[in-house]
């Protein structure tokens, strides 16, 4: 499979702070890669180095183009959506004209993408970008990013500032990306990563500490799912006490008529039968998987125990 990104000894410092530490990696064409990590892990810096907008140590090639020497050419192969929508003082139509000229493509290509993303220029072209919602602006940026059919798409927490509805629309739009497009998605959201990524990296203090699938990460992470139980209000405290005896106070939460305990899969059935033994009625129960933050944190907890 053709290599889309190749990095050798990629390093970046901001003053005395080491942000990327001697990274060596290859990403093949068509791979959907999620970049995970705690805040400050180096995800955004990595994406910026790949675009050649930051200087760096080592060598990076995107689509065979040396990023340090030919940043402009490399950026021609990249579509990018940032975390913070840029508030250009222009209308949607002006934006289409400006970026189609800048990327050397016909403006219809961006207009078609906008139409597909439910932002028809005929209806919304006269609106200033500042008048659009954050979700609409992010979708417009996605349209710009996709219009040139770039072989590499870099997404830096593109839905971080969006409400659930706008996030859903954005992710649905992202699913239309061609299978030969390489996608790097920096995200903190499990649903996005599950929807998009077929490979996951964890960056920590500038180093790649995990490379595998999400299932492999789940298996290595010490992060259990939450078992939620709904019971009668007057028996809620009994359920809570039973769960605390089983898993400890830190693994139990309660609100209204609901009580939840964080347990490995093997212990959940036993926890439920224990409630029944104690005469606590179970009106309903369900399991909620750990969040991405819990998985990543669980991964680090697990690594610490090794």
Partner 1 sequence: MSRAAVLRTLVRRELGESLRSRWFVAYSGVFLLGALALMLFGLSGSEIYGYRGFAKVMAGLVHLALLFVPLMALFPATAAIAGEREIGSLEYLVSQPISFGELFWGKWLGVSLAVWLSLCLGFGLAGAVAVYAGTPWQLVALLLALTLLLAEAFVAVGLLCSALARSRARATSAGLIAWIIAIGLGTLGLMGLVIRWGLPRFVLSLWAFANPVEAFRLGVIASLDSDGSLLGPVGGGWVATLGTGGLITLCLAGLALWALLPTLLAWWRFRRPQAWSAL
Helix (H) or strand (E) holding 85: none
Using CB under 8 A as the binding rule, whether residue 133 contacts partner 1 is answered as no
Given the rule CB under 8 A, which of 20-28, 79-87, 196-204, 240-248 is the region that contacts partner 1?
79-87
**DSSP designation for 213:** -
Q: Does residue number 161 form part of the binding site for partner 1 (CB under 8 A)?
A: no
Q: Is 87 in the site for partner 1 (CB under 8 A)?
A: yes
Q: Confirm or reject binding of residue 78 to partner 1 (CB under 8 A).
A: yes
Structure tokens at 24: 């060596």
How many other CB atoms are found less than 10 A from the CB of residue 199? 15
Per rule CB under 8 A, is residue 86 in the interface with partner 1? yes
Q: What is the DSSP string of 24-59?
A: EEEEETT-EEEEE-STTSSHHHHHHHHHTSS--EEE
Q: Does 99 bind partner 1 (CB under 8 A)?
A: yes
Stretch that binds partner 1, among 101-109, 191-199, 203-211, 281-289 (CB under 8 A): 101-109
Any contact of residue 151 with partner 1 (CB under 8 A)?
A: no
Q: Which is closer to partner 1, CB of 77 or CB of 260?
A: 77
Using rule CB under 8 A, residue 53 touches partner 1: yes
Side-by-side strand order, sheet with 252-255: 252-255, 258-263, 225-230, 284-288
Q: List interacting residues with partner 1 (CB under 8 A).
A: 14, 51, 53-55, 71-73, 75-76, 78, 80, 82, 84-90, 98-99, 101-104, 141
């Amino acid at each position: 499979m053709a290599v889309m990104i190749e990095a050798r000894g990629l390093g970046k410092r901001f003053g005395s702070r080491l942000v990327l530490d001697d990274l060596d990696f290859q990403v093949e064409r068509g791979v959907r890669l999620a970049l995970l990590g705690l805040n400050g892990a180096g995800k955004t810096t990595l994406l910026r180095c790949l675009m050649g907008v930051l200087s760096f140590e080592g060598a990076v090639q995107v689509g065979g183009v040396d990023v340090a020497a030919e940043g402009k050419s490399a950026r021609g192969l990249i579509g990018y959506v940032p975390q913070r929508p840029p508030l250009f003082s222009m209308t949607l139509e002006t934006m289409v004209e400006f970026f189609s000229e800048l990327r050397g493509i016909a403006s219809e290509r961006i207009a078609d993408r906008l139409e597909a993303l439910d932002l028809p220029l005929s209806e919304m072209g006269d609106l200033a970008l500042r008048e659009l919602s954050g979700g609409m602006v992010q979708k417009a940026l996605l349209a710009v990013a996709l219009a040139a059919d770039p072989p590499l798409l870099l997404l830096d927490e593109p839905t971080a500032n969006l409400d659930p509805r706008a996030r859903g629309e954005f992710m649905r739009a992202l699913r239309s990306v061609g299978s030969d497009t390489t996608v790097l998605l920096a995200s903190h959201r499990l649903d996005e990563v599950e929807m998009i990524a077929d490979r996951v990296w964890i960056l920590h203090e500038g180093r790649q500490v995990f490379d595998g699938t999400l299932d492999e990460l789940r298996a290595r992470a010490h992060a259990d799912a939450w078992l939620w139980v709904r019971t009668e209000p007057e028996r809620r405290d009994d359920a809570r006490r039973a769960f605390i005896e089983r898993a400890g106070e830190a693994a139990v939460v309660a609100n209204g008529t609901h009580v939840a305990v964080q347990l490995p899969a093997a212990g959940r059935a036993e926890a439920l039968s224990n409630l029944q033994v104690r005469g606590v009625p179970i009106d309903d129960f369900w399991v909620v998987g750990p969040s991405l933050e819990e998985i990543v944190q669980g991964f680090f907890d697990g690594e610490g125990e090794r």
